[in-house]
């Protein structure tokens, strides 16, 4: 009898444990920064919306590839995913519902943490590599704002400056509404900030859109009594001081020194030209997302045409180039002709003061003429990775935006061609060659 009782007890306990183990689920995901690079060593907290004993909260850390996995969570239940770092804060959270018993929810899209709010009050934009700061300074006007900026030494840095219009606009996650829309869109505008173009003493008052990102949330100072400044962020400490915010540590989300799209040598055959309009938009539970450029190329490869050939008859189409073909001799910059090349720094799409002067001369040459403009964005890579196409597209769009700011009428037909590294001006095996390939080629075609 005792043996039978013990056997029954063992079976009962086994059944209980088995049933408990089945009433669990899992979740997998990945954390990326604003440039699409993995974030390593970040704590990921999974917390129930409605606490249930034994399942209230779980924690793990991201791996070298930014991935994380949590097992043992309650099935079919709502949780909030919150990334936590010792070095910065973020407002990014993700609400999910776990799957049924024994199933693991794999997040369809990675969790992107673009902004890092540091302890010193500054905010790093990992997409652009800029460090932002908002300070309360009363009685500012166009006459004294530049002097006020020169006296800012927050975080131990002395190279703070006013943002440009393009940099201010880049803070928006969604594009600004077209000017042709009704004036009611102005309700989205949240006052303004002082801006100035590089090497210019002309200060302007520019409207911005407060979309509740970490930059605007970093300060509660009223817009009329504050100044928004920016600097190029580097993970090394300044010579005047060593602020804690500038020292990278485990879990850092600073922009990588070398983006893969801009440093790898040419090893793949050229990809076809992809115009911006060829990038499909797909629906998902999380909203509207842009499909990967690699998938887009595969889908559009047969139908794509080389816009570069149509724009410039003397240039070879990327589709006709052999992977082993010898690259063309670098073309000289013709800043006063009908074509011009604007060069960019590695991983950057912001036009430098030197290149801006060339673009102004080019615009002065074509101003008032009838015709169309083709802008080809290029990168120092021969791959078809999403990063490579993204930086190429950003460069072309940056040039287009600057031309409009210089006075180019929106009635002028401007075409954008995203070439990635398919049309190099020089070899990508040397840094000198890569510098020549980080560019945007602008061509004016008269009618």
> Among the three residues 113, 136, 168, which one is the final residue of a domain in this structure?
113
DSSP-derived 3-state class of residue 30: strand
According to the model, what pLDDT value does residue 86 have? 92
Q: Based on the structure, what is the number of domains in the chain?
A: 3
Whether pLDDT at 183 is above 90: no
The answer to whether 311 touches 417, Cβ cutoff 8 Å, is yes
What does the pLDDT average to over 212-223? 81
Whether 82 is covered by a domain: the verdict is yes
Residue 72 and residue 197 in one domain = no
Task: Kindly provide the residue ranges of all beta strands, DSSP E only, lying in 62-102, ordered along the sequence.
Answer: 67-73, 78-84, 88-89, 94-97
What's the pLDDT band for 301 if we cut at 50, 70, 90?
Answer: very low
Cα separation of 366 and 133, whole Å?
38
Question: Which segment of 151-165, 201-215, 326-340, 380-394 scores lowest on mean pLDDT?
Answer: 326-340
Residue 174 and residue 204 in one domain = yes
Number of H helices, E strands in the chain: 10, 22
Which residue, 84, 80, 75, is CA-closest to 46?
80
> Among the three residues 198, 221, 246, which one is the final residue of a domain in this structure?
246
Residue 32, domain CATH: 2.60.40.10
Question: Which residue range is the domain that position 292 belongs to?
Answer: 262-446
Residue 276, domain CATH: 3.30.1330.60
Whether 372 is covered by a domain: the verdict is yes
For 405-422, what is each residue's pLDDT tens digit?
888 887 788 998 888 888
Whether pLDDT at 267 is above 80: no
Which residue, 418, 439, 252, 226, is CA-closest to 351?
439
For 56-81, what is each residue's pLDDT tens digit?
999 999 999 999 999 999 999 999 99
According to the model, what pLDDT value does residue 138 have? 80
Residue 222 and residue 343 in one domain = no
According to the model, what pLDDT value does residue 420 have? 84
What's the pLDDT band for 4 if we cut at 50, 70, 90?
Answer: low
Tokens representing 201 are 């003493």
Residue 290 and residue 380 in one domain = yes
Residue 357 and residue 422 in one domain = yes
Residue 275 and residue 374 in one domain = yes
What's the pLDDT band for 293 if we cut at 50, 70, 90?
Answer: very low
What's the pLDDT band for 9 if we cut at 50, 70, 90?
Answer: low
Residue 163 and residue 27 in one domain = no
Whether 16 is covered by a domain: the verdict is no
Whether pLDDT at 314 is above 70: no
Cα separation of 426 and 328, whole Å?
7
Whether 65 is covered by a domain: the verdict is yes
Residue 294 and residue 207 in one domain = no
Whether pLDDT at 10 is above 70: no
For 79-91, what is each residue's pLDDT tens digit?
999 999 999 999 9
According to the model, what pLDDT value does residue 75 have? 94
Concatenating the DSSP letter of every residue in 327-381 gives PPPPPPP-TTSSEEEEE--TT--SPPHHHHHHHHHHHHHHTT--EEEEEEEE-S-
According to the model, what pLDDT value does residue 44 have? 97
Whether 63 is covered by a domain: the verdict is yes
Whether 4 is covered by a domain: the verdict is no
Residue 308 and residue 432 in one domain = yes
Residue 184 and residue 278 in one domain = no
What's the pLDDT band for 2 if we cut at 50, 70, 90?
Answer: low
Helix then strand then coil, % of the chain, to nearest 5: 25, 30, 45
Mean pLDDT of the chain: 75
> Among the three residues 200, 215, 246, which one is the final residue of a domain in this structure?
246
In angstroms, the Cα distances linking 218 to 33, 133, 142, 202, 245 are 19, 8, 24, 27, 15
Whether 297 is covered by a domain: the verdict is yes
Residue 224 and residue 284 in one domain = no
According to the model, what pLDDT value does residue 385 have? 64
Residue 432 and residue 300 in one domain = yes
What's the pLDDT band for 248 if we cut at 50, 70, 90?
Answer: very low
Whether 12 is covered by a domain: the verdict is no
Whether pLDDT at 297 is above 60: no
């Amino acid at each position: 009898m005792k043996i039978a009782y013990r056997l029954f007890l063992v079976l009962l306990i086994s059944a209980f444990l088995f049933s408990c183990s089945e009433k669990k689920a899992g979740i997998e995901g990945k954390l990326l920064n604003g440039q699409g690079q993995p974030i390593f060593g970040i704590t990921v907290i999974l917390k129930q919306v409605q606490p249930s004993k034994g399942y209230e909260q779980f924690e793990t850390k991201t791996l070298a590839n930014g991935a994380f996995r949590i097992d043992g969570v309650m099935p079919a239940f709502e949780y909030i995913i919150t990334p936590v770092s010792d070095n910065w804060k973020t407002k990014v959270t993700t609400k999910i519902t776990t799957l049924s018993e024994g199933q693991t929810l794999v997040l369809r899209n990675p969790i992107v943490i673009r902004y890092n709010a540091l302890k010193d009050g500054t905010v790093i934009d990992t997409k652009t590599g800029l460090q932002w700061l908002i300070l309360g300074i009363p009685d500012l006007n166009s006459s004294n704002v530049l002097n006020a900026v020169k006296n800012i030494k927050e975080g131990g840095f002395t190279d703070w400056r006013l943002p440009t219009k393009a940099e201010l606009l880049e803070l928006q996650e969604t594009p600004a509404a077209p000017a042709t829309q009704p004036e009611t869109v102005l309700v989205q505008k949240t006052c303004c900030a002082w801006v100035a173009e590089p090497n210019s003493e002309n200060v302007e008052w520019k409207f911005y859109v407060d979309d509740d990102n970490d930059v605007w949330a970093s300060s509660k100072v009223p817009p009329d009594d504050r100044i928004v400044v920016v600097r190029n962020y580097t993970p090394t400490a300044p010579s005047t001081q060593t602020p804690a915010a500038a020292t990278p540590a485990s879990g850092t989300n600073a922009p990588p020194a070398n983006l893969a799209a801009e440093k790898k040598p040419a090893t793949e055959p050229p990809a076809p030209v992809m115009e911006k309009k060829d990038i499909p938009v797909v629906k998902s539970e999380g909203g509207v997302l842009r499909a990967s450029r690699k998938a887009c190329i595969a889908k559009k490869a047969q139908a794509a045409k080389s816009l570069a050939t149509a724009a410039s008859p003397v240039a070879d189409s990327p589709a006709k180039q052999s992977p082993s073909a010898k690259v063309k001799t670098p073309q000289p910059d013709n800043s006063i002709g009908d074509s011009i090349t604007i060069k960019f720094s590695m991983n950057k799409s912001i036009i430098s003061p030197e290149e801006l002067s060339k673009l102004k001369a080019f615009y002065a040459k074509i101003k008032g003429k009838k015709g169309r403009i083709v802008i080809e964005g290029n990168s120092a890579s021969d791959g078809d990775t999403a990063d490579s196409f993204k930086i190429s597209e950003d460069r072309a769009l940056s040039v287009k935006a600057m031309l409009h700011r210089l006075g180019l009428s929106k009635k002028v037909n401007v075409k954008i061609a995203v070439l990635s590294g398919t049309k190099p001006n020089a070899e990508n095996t040397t840094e000198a060659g890569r510098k020549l390939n980080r560019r945007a080629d602008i061509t004016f075609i008269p009618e």
